[in-house]
């Protein structure tokens, strides 16, 4: 298995543009987590899904952020419109139904200018 795959690895966009980050889970995993990492705030949980259903989105900063899980193996995180303060590394991670050990993707480094 290739592990959790995120794309793109790097994204530079202008303020106001829409940004879509993508994540492919490990086959057989049923929980999906989106985290954001910054120097100031560390690793923050944005949202997580269990069996494709959003369970807790209390970490989503504001309505500009949305996440979907259209099927059991794929998720997107969309920011519209993007702002410079959204610049961060965004990670997705997945776990199997039987454990909480999280498998992380390599992250997407987002820069909004």
Partner 1 sequence: SQQGEEDPQALSIQEGENATMNCSYKTSINNLQWYRQNSGRGLVHLILIRSNEREKHSGRLRVTLDTSKKSSSLLITASRAADTASYFCATDAGRRALTFGSGTRLQVQP
Residues that bind partner 1 (CB under 8 A): 4, 31, 33, 35, 42-43, 45, 48, 50, 55-56, 91, 93, 95, 100-107
Look-up of token digits 């952020």 = 65
CB neighbour class for 92 (10 Å; exposed up to 12, middle 13-18, buried from 19): buried
Q: How far is the CB of 16 from partner 1 (least distance, A)?
A: 27
Q: What is the closest distance, in whole angstroms, from the C-beta atom of residue 54 to partner 1 in the complex?
A: 12
Angle at 70 between CA 64 and CA 71, to 5 degrees: 145
Nearer to partner 1 (CB atom), residue 35 or residue 82: 35
Minimum CB separation of residue 44 from partner 1 in Å reads: 8
Q: State the nearest-atom distance from the C-beta of 55 to partner 1, in Å.
A: 8
Between 80 and 111, CB nearer to partner 1: 111
Nearer to partner 1, 73 or 96 (CB): 96
In Å, how far from its chain's centre is CA 62? 15
Residues paired with 99 in a beta bridge: none
Residues recorded for the chain = 113
Beta bridge partners of 21: 77
* 35 versus 65: smaller Cβ distance to partner 1: 35
3-class secondary structure, 5: strand
């Amino acid at each position: 298995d290739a592990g959790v795959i995120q794309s793109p690895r790097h994204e530079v966009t202008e303020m106001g543009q829409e940004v879509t980050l993508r994540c492919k889970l490990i086959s057989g995993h049923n929980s999906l987590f989106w985290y954001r990492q910054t120097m100031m705030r560390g690793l923050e949980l944005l949202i997580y899904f269990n069996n494709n259903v959003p369970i807790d989105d209390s970490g989503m900063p504001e309505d500009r952020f949305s996440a979907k899980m259209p099927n059991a193996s794929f998720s997107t995180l969309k920011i519209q419109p993007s702002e410079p303060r959204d610049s961060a590394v965004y990670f997705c991670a997945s776990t199997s139904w039987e454990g909480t050990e999280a498998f992380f993707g390599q992250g997407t480094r987002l820069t909004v200018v």
